[in-house]
Structure 1
Amino acid sequence: MARIAKDPQERRNEILDAAMELFQTKGYEHTSVSDIVKKIGVAQGTFYYYFKSKEEIASAAHERSLSARLHFVKNTVDDPDLNAVDKLRKVLLQGFPAPETDKVILEYVHDEGNSILHQKWLTAKITAFAPYLTEIVQQGIGEGVFQLDHPGEVTEFLLVGISFLFDRGVFKWSDEEIAKKYKALEKIVDSLLGGKNIISVSAFLGNTNHG
């Protein structure tokens, strides 16, 4: 029986979903292109029509995850029922950290041989998030809860600091060291934005995937 033709985007997502499931169960290094196409019942030529390599799958997975997170952030920024502090907390605690499903991709990109790709991904995430957080900070200035000049630059500084300092692929901090740094982060955010009790360290401790 002939396989039903699918919309190209649907097929691409099907391949990507199958790859991610295999990465989770077998590990990235132990998953081959043959494993991926076998799982969904297509020829290897179909895989290579959409992706040049297994490495490109990893990049596509990161891009799809980032797109979904940015959709969440945009909805948060546009929510008329949230004040600036609530928006900032929601974005930094729920939108900015990588979800648990990205763990296997983060392990791949944290490999020493992938340092250039790692830097590229971090830069792309910071660049994508910065305008949204800047808008939130500007709202907070208007509400009188944040007191600062240069909101765009301060926001970029905050995102870069969080992204690199808490990236376990860059620094090999122990859990105790991470906890101390998150505790300090509370005061740092307050100082940068000119507010009080903006971020709760207890909430931040559950979100340590900064990929």
Structure 2
Amino acid sequence: MRISKEPEVRKREIADNAMRLFCEKGYEATSMKDIAKAVNVVPGLCYNYFKSKYELYEFAIALYANECLAPLIEILQTEEESLDAFYEKIVAAFIRNDGKEKYHDFFHKDGNQLFHKQLEIVMNDKIQPYIENFIACLNKKGQLKVEDPKSASRFIVYGQSPIVNDDTLTPEEKAEKVMSMIKLILK
């Protein structure tokens, strides 16, 4: 019996199952046929939404990046009284979520470094404008005096990646190292 679903619901279902299979079997070993079977649909339906497995993967990465970044973006868009209050909220959100992300195991699995780098680029590109706007807003409030918010935000976003992705550090150690660097940059 065929179950009709809204297109966005179906796309999400296909993407979630694809990522689950990529985690279990690996990206290369997973076919669109495998994904369709996991969703309990015919392969043609998957191709109706995604032209290829790679397009499906890109869609799943974008969804995942949005989910991972949502708590940080929410914090960056709030009105706080002090810069320290922002720092505290960002650190708490990072520590609460680090390593517990939905597809963490896939992206951190040995041999999946290229996939992890792709995710890192997508996430950094998505968060950078929010950081830039955050710095510009704090400049207007007189809490910061950063001459070039765009360059500062790029340096912060792309510079923190090696620390955040260092699995030899605890979430607390990562947060402390990144925040100490951010405080130096935003002096």
Q: Secondary structure at the match of 1:131?
A: helix
C-alpha displacement of 1:129: 1.2
Which has the higher relative contact order, 1 or 2, with Cα contacts under 8 A spaced 6 or more apart? 1
CA apart distance, 1:100: 2.0
Q: Deviations over 1:72-131 (max 9, x none)?
A: 44432332356444335544663796852122442479636x4xx665543332232122
CA distance in structure 1 between the partners assigned to 2:112 and 2:19 by the alignment: 18
Give the Cα–Cα distance (whole angstroms) in 1 for the partners of residues 58 and 88 of structure 2.
28
Residue identity matched to 2:138 = G
Post-superposition Cα deviations, 1:116-164, rounded to whole Å, max 9, x if no partner, equal: x665543332232122112222333344443432222112111111024
For residues 106 and 126 of structure 1, what CA distance do their matches in structure 2 show? 15
116, 122, 125: which one aligns with 1:124: 122
| Residues 11, 122 of structure 1: alpha-carbon distance in 2 compared, 3 angstrom cutoff | same
Match of 1:66 in 2: 65
1:1-211 matches, cutoff 5 A: 2-24=1-23, 26-29=24-27, 30-81=29-80, 83-91=82-90, 94=93, 100-107=101-108, 111=112, 114=114, 120-168=118-166, 174-175=168-169, 179=173, 183-194=176-187
Paired with 2:175 and 2:80, the residues of 1 have a C-alpha distance of 28
Corresponding position of 1:204:
none
Deviation at 1:50, TM superposition (A): 1.7
Q: How many residues align?
A: 183
Q: How far did residue 18 of structure 1 move?
A: 1.9
What letter corresponds to residue 102 of structure 1 in structure 2?
Y
How many percent identity over aligned positions?
22
CA RMSD of aligned residues (A): 3.5
What does the per-residue CA deviation read over 1:8-32, in whole Å, with 9 as the maximum and x for residues that have no partner? 22211111122233344x2424544
- Does the Cα contact within 8 Å between 1:28 and 1:104 map onto a contact in 2? no
Aligned 8 A contact 1:110 1:118 in 2: no
Q: 1:98 to 1:12 in 2, by over 3 A?
A: farther
Matched to 2:186, the amino acid is L
